[in-house]
Amino acid sequence: MERLFQQYIEARKACHLPTGNITPDLISSAIEKQKPILAEKYHCQQVEFKVVIEDGKPKIKARPNCSRHECRLRPPPAEGRHDRLRINCERCSHRHSPLPFTPGDPLANAYLKACLLADEELAARVTITLRDFFVSDPAATCITEILATEPDAVGFSVYLWNRQACIDTARQLKDAKPDLTIFAGGPEPTAAPERMLAEFPFDFLVMGEGEHTFIEAMDTLWKGKPVRGVKGVAALYEGNLVYRPRPLVPFLDTLPSPYLSGMLDVEQGGGALWQLSRGCSFGCDFCFDYQGAEGVRRFGMERIREELDWFVQHRVAQVFVLDSTFNRDLLLAKEVLRLIKRRAPHIHFHFEVRSEFIDAELARLCSTITCSSRSAFKAPILRS
């Protein structure tokens, strides 16, 4: 309270307003009167206060302290009541993508949506909207679009390149709508959860591989319960990080395909991201592909064939293959190349390969399709 009082006095001074009649008791009693009203409004037992200056005037603003205390997103729905939870999942990408094309599909978020909608019970209770922004879009524009759907929760897919844009948007969203639940997933939150939660306005984080954690977290939000405690969710509780890891999805084919389930619509002649595997067996210290997922899990050939046919049917022109070491399993890589040669020799594929595993047959197969590649090689210096 003392700190809040000092901040308020400083803010009044900055606005050239008198401070003589302001006392700590005055501030304290005003806040005590507001607490029950705000707790009712936000369905939250704990509300925190901060001083802001708006339109040249100092104000004390309240926000629910959701992730740190026993509080709820909203009251649990009455029995038999099926009000829908509205979720937005945001991706910010670069207008000038380092990929050979600007992918039109927020693939990670589409995996989440496909997985959630495959759960019939949850699909009936949750509306999920995917949104795609550029990092150069002003936060105010993003916020207007996001709030237009009146979401209950907003999630951000946070990477190195869009971190600041996501944080700026999340901060302004929280200021505009303090009772909104804001969460994040992706490499950045997974790598540094404590900092993400302590310094930025995320109520919780979906750590690592997100599909199953996301479904359970959304179900928990719909029931009006705290998501802290859901496996794979990281949150702060009384200043401490709470996190129980969730095992990886053992068989990737159990995850619905975002393409085959209609979550993504690639425009004719556009580009698509195509995930063939998750993880990596090389374990370079700096790389997220390896973190927490030693070894490689691959999608099966039937799924690969069906998605490839989908690209052909939807006249996709370019495909960036998400398989960090495509040719680590040479037999499988050759099988995929033969499949492409038979079904989609006209589509341009971009692979990431390890140069030490390229043999003459692989090189010859590559020459029979339309493709480019980026190669890495074995370098002991990469490993500490």
Contact positions vs ligand SF4 (CB under 6 A): 280, 282-284, 287, 289-290, 324-325, 376
The smaller minimum CB distance to ligand SF4, of residues 49 and 351, is found at: 351
The smaller minimum CB distance to ligand SF4, of residues 42 and 326, is found at: 326
CB of 293 to ligand SF4, least distance (A): 10
Of residues 226, 227, 234, the one with CA closest to residue 196 = 234
CB 66 within 8 A of CB 214: no
The smaller minimum CB distance to ligand SF4, of residues 72 and 354, is found at: 354
CB of 324 to ligand SF4, least distance (A): 3
CB of 174 to ligand SF4, least distance (A): 34
Per-residue three-class SS string for the chain: CHHHHHHHHHHHHHCCCCCCCCCHHHHHHHHHHHHHHHHHHHCCCCEEEEEEEECCEEEEEEEECHHHCCCCCCCCCCCCCCCCEEEEEEEEECCCCCCCCCCCCCHHHHHHHHHHHHCHHHHCCEEEEEEEEECCCCHHHHHHHHHCCCCCEEEEECCCCCHHHHHHHHHHHHHHCCCCEEEEECHHHHHCHHHHHHHCCCCEEECCCCHHHHHHHHHHHHCCCCCCCCCCEEEEECCEEEECCCCCCCCHHHCCCCCCCCCCCCCCCCEEEEECEEEECCCCCCCCCCCCCEEEEECCHHHHHHHHHHHHHCCCCEEEEECCCCCCCHHHHHHHHHHHHHHCCCCEEEEEEEHHHCCHHHHHHHHCCCEEEEEECCCHHHCC
CB of 84 to ligand SF4, least distance (A): 39
The smaller minimum CB distance to ligand SF4, of residues 287 and 301, is found at: 287
The smaller minimum CB distance to ligand SF4, of residues 200 and 290, is found at: 290
CB of 165 to ligand SF4, least distance (A): 24
CB of 285 to ligand SF4, least distance (A): 8
The smaller minimum CB distance to ligand SF4, of residues 248 and 260, is found at: 248
Of residues 362, 378, 282, 290, the one with CA closest to residue 327 = 362
CB of 378 to ligand SF4, least distance (A): 9
How deeply is 375 buried, as exposed, middle or buried, from its count of CB atoms within 10 A (0-12, 13-18, 19+)? middle
The smaller minimum CB distance to ligand SF4, of residues 241 and 287, is found at: 287
CB of 126 to ligand SF4, least distance (A): 33
The smaller minimum CB distance to ligand SF4, of residues 168 and 289, is found at: 289
CB of 282 to ligand SF4, least distance (A): 4
The smaller minimum CB distance to ligand SF4, of residues 235 and 276, is found at: 276
